[in-house]
Structure 1
Amino acid sequence: MSFIKRCSLLLSMLPLTCFAQGKCEVELGHGLIITDSVIRIVDKGQTRVQINNDTQLLIQGYWIDLSEQETQVLYEYSKGIRDTVPELVSLATDGVNLGLSAIEQVVEGMSDKEPEVLKTQLQYVERALMDKFKRGDDFFFIAPQSLSKIDDFFTKEISQKIHSAVHGSLGAILVSLGDAFKSREGNIEDRITDMSQRMDIITKEIDKSLEKKAQQLENKAEEYCECLNTLDETEARLQAIVPDLTAYDLVQIRS
């Protein structure tokens, strides 16, 4: 398999999710932590609203007594969250670790060791992602953010950080290669130029991968919009029942 095809295959693991601009202007006003039995609406690291087993509501730690009919609305709200948010988190996180590892493998293949700058920069990429989206064995987390601009987060912030990681490691690789070539025959300058061109290929393949994912996942935008609009309507019904919930408005639809 050629170098370019290998890069393309490995880097195609990098994810991107987006919403079609103009179709879905949605913001999450608070962070969410979702487990099998509990949903937490969090603000500044503190749980403000908690839903247990989709049927029990607590606000600021205080139990809210609901009738059977009101509990049904809470159930619909909880189910709406579970039907949308975990999938968003999965789309945002699936393949990231594999994709970042792929970059490391490609770079390591050019030198006898991984430049420390690459490891540090890739840690910045992972940290930026985990500040927005995180998934564990038994939980999902999503931070308060504009869901209609998730594509900007990946194509601008994450892409830029990956570019910095790849090009930031170029200097260390060239130094290593220069040392290795000193005792060998051949034109060192030509080899270094070739290495620089290869690094450019890697970053271009990253961009192509991100754009391809954007196109694939854009088809889901309308589906998400419909689900989130329904969730917003259910939230409004629940807020009418429990007015204290308006202080923790989760789904905010922009006209």
Structure 2
Amino acid sequence: MRALLFIVCLISPLTSFADLKCDIDLKYGVVVNDRQIRIVGDQSRTMYQINDTNQLIVLGDVIELNPQQLAELHDFSSGIHYVVPKMIILATEGVELAVETVENVYQGLVGADNTNYEKVQSSLQRVQDRIKKKFIHADENFYIGPGRLENVNDLVDEEIEEQLEKAFNTSLGGVLSTIGGLTEGGSEETDQKTDDLSQRLEAMGQELERQVGSKAQYLRKKAHWFCKKMNHLDQIEEGLRASIPQLKEINVITTSKINAKEPTK
């Protein structure tokens, strides 16, 4: 039981986002570079694009805008230009932190020579591959694919989350096998094994806190900022869709009410 409690503590940096929920649904892909924003639908079809924050083209047609609409378009496009690159960095760093933590816990407890280690690495690699396909930075372009982002702490959709859970479950299986081996041998030998494992866990926990704790808190604060920013952009988009008929059926960002609790220091 003491060993299991240690394991829970080891992964606590990754659960420090628990009070920060934000449902974000991107109905379309978003491509951003310095000069334009493209909203991309099925088969890479451009639904609309914004050039230089002040020109709107919907399905190939240039839309004439009044001053109020131009101001809202400028606010919306400026926000997208600002948030999308940072969102891609946040997603990448968050998953890298999760992968690094799972690997460190597994190696520290059962070692890289364990037969299940390759399975763990394979599952974690699939997580990273999915992130690279969903959040892309190529040359001057930033791209985010469509999909629901349910928890801003990991910024991954359900399929990616399943891969991460699979990796952790594989890791946990190896860890529990190690703990199960503690009961082999006599009572004195079992006590020695338990003490050795407890020392390893304590040392690992201290090292992970040193390596991961501050970074996890930093990412958490960035995630809180991102959630509020996306909520604000959703409100601006709703105003554009209400005033520009050509955008009425194109709803890019959908968010729910966020938990605005500030990250703990």
TM-score, normalised relative to structure 1: 0.60
* Deviation of 1:132 (Å): 2.4
User: What is the aligned-residue RMSD (CA, Å)?
Assistant: 4.9
Runs of at least 5 residues in structure 2 that lack an aligned partner in the other structure: 1-13, 175-196, 258-265
Identity %: 31
**Counterparts of 1:36-55 in structure 2 under 5 Å?**
36-46=34-44, 47-55=46-54
- Correspondence for 2:92: 93
Query: Does the 8 Å CA contact 2:134/2:145 hold for their aligned counterparts?
Result: yes
SS class of match (2:40)? strand
Runs of at least 5 residues in structure 1 that lack an aligned partner in the other structure: 1-13, 171-196
Deviating more after overlay: 222-231 vs 28-37: 222-231
* From 137, 140, 145, the counterpart of 1:138: 140
Q: Distance in 1 between matches of 2:36 and 2:255?
A: 25
- Correspondence for 2:227: 225
Q: In the TM superposition, what whole-angstrom CA distance separates every residue of 1:131-172 from its partner, at most 9, and x where no partner exists?
A: 3212223111112233342436669435346558989xx9xx
**Structure 1 residues 90 and 221, CA gap change in structure 2 (3 angstroms):** closer
Larger RCO, structure (CA 8 Å, separation 6 or more): 1
* Deviation of 1:78 (Å): 0.2
* Deviation of 1:55 (Å): 1.3
Q: In the TM superposition, what whole-angstrom CA distance separates every residue of 1:21-62 from its partner, at most 9, and x where no partner exists?
A: 2xx333222221111112111122322111111111111122
Q: Distance in 1 between matches of 2:91 and 2:19?
A: 12
Amino acid at match of 1:245: L
- Correspondence for 2:75: 76
Q: Distance in 2 between matches of 1:211 and 1:152?
A: 15
**Counterparts of 1:1-255 in structure 2 under 5 Å?**
20-21=20-21, 24-46=22-44, 47-94=46-93, 123-151=125-153, 156-160=161-165, 162-163=167-168, 213-255=215-257
Number of residue pairs the alignment of both structures matches:
221
**Structure 1 residues 235 and 162, CA gap change in structure 2 (3 angstroms):** same
Q: Distance in 2 between matches of 1:30 and 1:126?
A: 22
- Correspondence for 1:190: none
Q: In the TM superposition, what whole-angstrom CA distance separates every residue of 1:96-122 from its partner, at most 9, and x where no partner exists?
A: 789989x7xxx9x968xxx99788656
Q: Distance in 1 between matches of 2:236 and 2:34?
A: 21
Amino acid at match of 1:42: V
Query: Does the 8 Å CA contact 1:19/1:150 hold for their aligned counterparts?
Result: no
SS class of match (2:249)? helix
- Correspondence for 1:192: none
SS class of match (1:230)? helix
Amino acid at match of 1:43: G
Q: In the TM superposition, what whole-angstrom CA distance separates every residue of 1:167-222 from its partner, at most 9, and x where no partner exists?
A: 9xx9xxxxxxxxxxxxxxxxxxxxxxxxxx9xxx9xx98x9877875543222344
SS class of match (1:239)? helix
SS class of match (1:49)? strand
Query: Does the 8 Å CA contact 2:95/2:154 hold for their aligned counterparts?
Result: no
